[in-house]
A and B are shown apart, each in its own frame.
Chain A
Amino acid sequence: MADYRKPIPEPTPETQAFWDGTKAGELRLQRCDSCSHVYFPPRPFCPECASRKVSWFKASGKGKLHSYVINHRPAYGFEQDAPYAIAVIMTDEGVKMLTNMVDVEQTPEALVLDMPVEVTFEQISEKIALPKWRPAKGA
């Protein structure tokens, strides 16, 4: 971890509960108490109806591969990974999350859109566990 050179998220007061969740091995999302809208990224009000009454809940950690690119020009810190996929997952709760795919070849043949995926967490610093996604087990 000490030599981790990639960007590391810096939680804010509004996102801290999300990052507390990933560190505990949970993917947490927010749902509006007023209109039931589920949304991401975190904020302490509902972007659908502006209600400030919202609650955190543990998400399923399941979803589908929604879209991706395979990046051949690595970002700083990603030199050893290239080419690597930058993917977006559509979670079963209906929110989109950007991520990297793990435990799978980084090729168009292996990365098939709408394949079932599940979340996993990579501890990248003392404070941060980064959600990543992999092909769902038994899929």
Chain B
Amino acid sequence: MAAREGGVTMKPKSVAIVGAAETTQLGVIPDLSIIQLHADAALNAMADADIGPKDIDGVATAGESPVAIAHYLGIKPTYADGTSVGGCSFMLHVRHAAAAINEGLATTILITHGESGRSRVGGGGRFGGGGSSLSGQFESPYGMSGPPSTFTIPVLRYMKDFGLTHEQLAMVAVVQREWAGMNPRATFRDPITVDDVLNSRMIAYPFHLLECCLVTDGGGALIMTTAERAKDFKTKPVYILGTGESVETPMVSQMYDFTTSMAFRLSGKKAFDEAGITPKDVDHLMCYDAFAHLPIYMLEDLGFVGRGEAGAFIAAGNTRPGGKLPMNTNGGGLSYMHSGMYGMYALQESVRQLRGTAPAQVPGAKISVANGVGGMFAAGGTIIMTNEAP
């Protein structure tokens, strides 16, 4: 098969650059750190275009994380591009931005660059590891030891505000083990009870070992083409029905609200609007579960249940085998596998379900939603898929 025929070309002259500026100073700038160089240029470009952060709904950058740039500038985006392929990254950002604007992912996209090449001020690294990054100054000194003691920090607030119980949190792990028990490829398959979860080793109160994801090895890959060309492949096509994305904060302590993720809300709304469906239309759901609280936040932030209702919804059996909303049917990050960036496995399970080849197959599944989280409440991505031809 000729692999590259039959594509479409972008619409010429459909997208324009309306703001452009460099940093106020150039040369030797020891009084600005890297992130502020990005921000200085961005503020100048906003002034040039006569718009503010609330008018911008997309960010792209290289070197720094687009999450850090968006939060630092107060932008709440539905598009984030962190493509980092060296010095031409910004050409790729312009191209991706043009496609994104054409496709309606965002209307106004900011592309930033900042580099303290000479003065070397404030090099925090992409994930904020350095002592001069904002997380290095205002979070790391207090002793988080990776995701188990970081991602979990907002949860007590949620528990107090909405009455989520320790037992309900534990039920997330219990239900997912039921799904894992039907999956020969799942790492953990033996049934567990709420007591098993609550008696497992304390990792970071209120989280026990069995409420934290596995750490395993693995990989995954996807190949996409046009719906038209998909007909020529021997595999059953899985069509993209709607997509969403957002980024919120590189520092969990600076999440806008500890009881709900802005990134999940913006991402989910964009995806459902694009798909033209509501949560009621969904047959199968994957909620990236690095820890037991994430499906709870996602069920609410995507609109499957109301605020504060997700814990009881899961505990009542709605997401278990035979329930009305089959969720994390591979066993999830808690029982199936988790290599570190689990989103790929959520997508793989959605594809299996829509092809009808999942070990724990949901009969007749036509629409699947895969919702992912990036970093620790840093980002959200939503993909809605269907096996019904356009």
Query: Could you tell me which A residues sit within 8 Å of B by CB distance?
Result: 6-15, 40-41, 43-50, 52, 66-78, 81, 83-84, 86, 88, 96-100, 108, 113-114, 124, 130
Could you tell me which residues of chain B, from 112 to 151, have a CB within 8 Å of some CB in chain A? 121-122, 130-132, 134, 136-146, 148-150
Is the beta-carbon distance between A71 and B144 smaller than 8 angstroms? yes
Q: CA–CA, A78 to B145, complex, Å?
A: 10
A18 → B minimal CB distance (Å)? 8
Query: Quick one: closest B residue to A101, CB to CB?
Result: B142
List the count of A-B residue pairs having beta carbons below 8 Å apart. 155
Interface band, chain B? 35 or more
Is the beta-carbon distance between B33 and A13 smaller than 8 angstroms? yes
A20 → B minimal CB distance (Å)? 13
B43 within 8 A of A: yes
> Contact partner of B143 among A10, A50, A71, CB < 8 A?
A71
Is the beta-carbon distance between A50 and B52 smaller than 8 angstroms? yes
Q: CA–CA, A98 to B150, complex, Å?
A: 11
> Contact partner of A13 among B30, B134, B148, CB < 8 A?
B30
B174 within 8 A of A: no
B180 → A minimal CB distance (Å)? 24
> Contact partner of B141 among A8, A12, A67, CB < 8 A?
A8
Residue of A40, A71, A114 with highest tally of chain B CB at under 10 A: A71
B89 within 8 A of A: no
A6 → B minimal CB distance (Å)? 6
Residue of A70, A77, A130 with highest tally of chain B CB at under 10 A: A70
A48 → B minimal CB distance (Å)? 6
* Residues of A with C-beta under 8 A to B31: 13
Residue of A67, A78, A100, A130 with highest tally of chain B CB at under 10 A: A67
A9-B141, A12-B132 are known; give 8 further A-B pairs, CB within 8 A. A41-B138, A50-B43, A52-B43, A73-B203, A75-B144, A86-B143, A86-B153, A97-B253
Residue of B39, B53, B140, B149 with highest tally of chain A CB at under 10 A: B149
B206 within 8 A of A: yes
Is the beta-carbon distance between B202 and A72 smaller than 8 angstroms? yes
> Contact partner of A69 among B33, B74, B152, CB < 8 A?
B152
Is the beta-carbon distance between A12 and B121 smaller than 8 angstroms? yes
* Residues of B with C-beta under 8 A to A6: 141, 143
Is the beta-carbon distance between B204 and A71 smaller than 8 angstroms? yes
* Residues of A with C-beta under 8 A to B137: 9-12, 15, 41
